[in-house]
Structure 1
């Protein structure tokens, strides 16, 4: 318990709009030459996936984008105070704030005036103002067409419930939380690790009720795994052309293409979807050269690369090496010859996944960080199903024997 309290105290410092802290405060930051990070992540460096064939993983292509929505949800929590201002430091929650914002009273533009229990939709899009800016609970979910399609699918799931706003919000949120624990996490870290964390609690992350924070080892390393799962290109409709995520599918405007989620997730009665890219420390070209509309102006061309940004972010926030975290956890570090002085934690987690899990899921270090944080956030939330009713089961219909994400996404 003392260890857990020390972690919470380490998170008291506000960064942005949520509380952040170190998950492994006893470990020293990795010292590494910044120029080496830029070379590794830039065009032609070790993080540049030069081949575009033969790197499919076992899971469907849409899962890392669901993970992206979870990341937005954790960091989008609102806590209204007088005058509509927001507190600078608040507990991160998995409560679909990305959809609901401040509800029909605080965010009326999201809801149908004639029926404020329901979201307002514009066909397969969210409503937009005269300049094409999305009227959406979290603008980050408009960054590309796939995240927007998932956002709209969840809005439709709320509307299908046919309940009052508050009843529908609780129902959808609890089903979403169930999906995270029983569908998303087992695919990402393995069912045995999920079962272990549920039964035994977190070894390294177990904040008290309402005292959660976001570990930097999670936010700036382990949970950036999804960048390595982005495919080189995506087919959005059956028989359609394959397009790179950026710039072709970039958002922040009315959708230019229709997205059939059955191309991204294994939907009942439909052919298998495209697969996610294998985790191997290499990113697709569309992420190595992000468009200016996503990055904004940059001081160096290398900062167009998401790999560079991931590597530099870990350095800036003082993350330890992957080898140091593995040793602390009692795991045998995987060899990483390219980093003789120690491997940046983000890259280490991708390399560990490649060497130990054939790139199909996270290994023991990355998997434990992610599982402990997501389950720990739910257990620290006084309104989550894991806190209020841990034996709760989904009540919505399931196409298969176990309720899953595709049961929420289907019409």
Structure 2
């Protein structure tokens, strides 16, 4: 989101590799992700490069005409109305995972808030949870994230408000010194995980899960090995959750099964498993922006902010990067998550912690975005406060389309051809499916010539969302393959890898089942006071 902290985020901007401030086109500077031997952009050459890079897995595409991008964007931000069947918490679990995969140095304004040394500690395109652990407790730059024992991660306390007393361990740890803005800053490896309240509370749940895993280690484990043992267990459980819970909810399960059984065709199909993966721009700039369409305009958040009150604006306001914590230095207790409303615990085999009608459902994955995303707060993308309402620069869909155009991403049709050439049978979308869709963006504002151009070269982000929309609301075909293959490669290349430990079985779930409800249930010791700290129905 905020380019000063690396790539802009999954929820607002996604992982970027070029600066998309309008008017900031790089002209004839080299494209650092076009070919493996392309020289780095000058801004990157002046500092130590991160130990990973972006790459293309498809052909180079063409620039999308700006007027076509604007017309599409306006059609896409008319407000999503279709509720999907995925609990809304998975939208923000996806954002957390996204921040674990990449924070690209090429989109950082070097010398502003982030040093080259910090960039080297940025996200690797693996699922190693470095967004949670940093470089580990032995590293001087990361030691501050850890408690005095050098094994557990720090948490923070909330502030009492009205009848809701202060709650220990229910906020992210915060710095606590300096200016008010500095006091609010979350003491975590990736500040983007404090850009909205839901991802911040998700990060906190991951901290608590790690700490509970530490607590369950046998006393016989030597002190010097306790952190590594805990991190290995947490990472492998995380991989299991992604493979068996998260991915099948957002991607056609048949595609996931095919990739994890028979391997990849496009994303690093023939590399050593332990070699550092590269991040496909087709994934980061298009396919994994699926989460944007899942965002709701309002959430049934907790007993203090139930149905119709927990607006998306509040979710930004009560974080420290997207807002100002409501003017406080720490989270107010009345904004703690009631996880019963974000995940379906009964469906996950847990006690009936909440009536089913209280579980928020994400918007269906399709070509419609909730209308608040038509006017992003300028602070969320590093823009000036003076950018007027309804300016195209505030439209998330327009920003996504422009970013893809600047990178010359392959079109949807080009990616169909690339997959077919790689031996994957993919059915292309028809003209009717592209133009009319199925309950998604209405393209009545396109001229006949614009419709022809769209059908010939559909922007990849729009194409993969149309694929989901004309199916069952899951990513499939091109989009499903890009997501599943990138996750497979990121998992394979991780330090602790489920794919290289095929005998692993989760120890903190229900037998061989480990889903997000299991993680939360374990992280909060199965207590209602942790899953729903404010109590009430």
TM-score by length of 1: 0.87
User: What residue in structure 2 maps to residue 312 of structure 1?
Assistant: 402
CA contact (8 A) 1:247 1:290 kept: no
Query: Post-superposition shift, 1:90?
Result: 8.5
2:492 paired with 1:379: yes
Equivalent pair of 2:251/2:476 in contact (CA under 8 Å) = yes
TM-score by length of structure 2 reads 0.67
Q: Is 1:197 matched up with 2:259?
A: yes
Structure 1 residue 401: Cα displacement:
6.2
What corresponds to 2:137 in structure 1? 104
In structure 1, runs of 5+ residues without a counterpart are: 1-7
Q: 1:93 aligns with which of 126, 129, 133?
A: 126
**What's the secondary structure of 1:386's corresponding residue?**
coil
Q: Which of 305, 316, 321 pairs up with 1:249?
A: 316
Residue number in structure 1 paired with 2:364: 278
Matched, 1:396 2:508: yes
Determine if the alignment matches structure 1 residue 234 to structure 2 residue 320. Answer: no
Q: 1:239-281 deviations in whole A, cap 9, x for unaligned? A: 7243332354342143351211221111222333211101221
Does the alignment pair 1:37 with 2:99? no
1:262-341 matches, within 5 Å, as 262-267=340-345, 268-269=350-351, 270=353, 271-272=355-356, 273-297=359-383, 301-330=391-420, 331-334=426-429, 335-337=433-435, 338=443, 339-341=451-453
Shift of 1:39: 3.1
1:9-158 superposed matches below 5 A: 10-11=35-36, 17=50, 18-24=52-58, 27-41=59-73, 45-50=74-79, 53=81, 55-76=82-103, 86-87=119-120, 92-106=125-139, 107-113=142-148, 115-122=149-156, 123-130=169-176, 131-158=183-210
Residues 35, 12 of structure 1: alpha-carbon distance in 2 compared, 3 angstrom cutoff: same
1:406 equivalent to 2:406? Answer no
In 1: Cα distance, 2:519 partner to 2:103 partner: 21
User: Structure 1: how far apart are the matches of 2:174 and 2:36?
Assistant: 37
Shift of 1:318: 1.1
Q: After superposition, give the CA deviation of every residue in 1:121-161 in whole Å (9 maximum; x if it has no partner).
A: 12211121232111112100000010011100010011111
Q: 1:227 to 1:129 in 2, by over 3 A?
A: same
Which residue of the partner structure matches residue 461 of structure 2?
346
CA contact (8 A) 1:247 1:291 kept: no
1:276 aligns to what SS in structure 2?
strand
Question: Once the 2 structures are TM-superposed, how far is the Cα of residue 88 of structure 1 from its aligned partner?
Answer: 9.1
Are residues 248 and 168 of structure 1, via their aligned partners in 2, closer, same or farther at CA, if it must alter by over 3 Å?
closer
Counterparts of 2:123 and 2:410, CA distance in 1: 25
Computed over aligned residues only, the root mean square deviation of the Cα atoms, in angstroms, reads 2.6
In structure 1, the residue matched to 2:109 is none
Q: Distance in 2 between matches of 1:109 and 1:350?
A: 41
Aligned residues: 388
What is the alpha-carbon distance in structure 1 between the residues aligned to residue 194 and residue 88 of structure 2? 18
Aligned equivalents of 2:248, 2:258: Cα separation in 1: 11
Question: Separation in 2 of the partners of 1:85 and 1:33?
Answer: 37
Are 2:103 and 2:123, in contact at CA under 8 Å, matched by a contact in 1?
no
> What CA deviation, in whole Å up to 9, does each residue of 1:106-135 have, x standing for no partner?
22221222x321111122111212321111
SS of equivalent residue, structure 1 residue 282? coil
TM-aligned CA distance change 1:34 to 1:152, over 3 Å: same
Give per-residue Cα distances to partners, 1:315-335, cap 9 Å, x unaligned: 011111112212433423223
Are the structure 2 counterparts of residues 374 and 235 from structure 1 closer, same or farther at C-alpha, using a change threshold of 3 Å? same
Contact 1:76 1:97 in 2 (8 A): no
**Aligned residues of 1:59 and 1:275 also touching (Cα < 8 A):** yes
SS of structure 1 residue aligned to 2:151: strand
Per-residue deviation, residues 162-212 of structure 1 (Å, max 9, x unmatched): 142221111101100111111111111132222211121101113433131
Q: Identify if the C-alpha distance between structure 1 residues 105 and 88 changes in structure 2 by more than 3 Å, giving closer, same or farther.
A: closer
Distance 2:281 2:499 in 1: 24
**What SS is found at the alignment partner of 1:246?**
helix
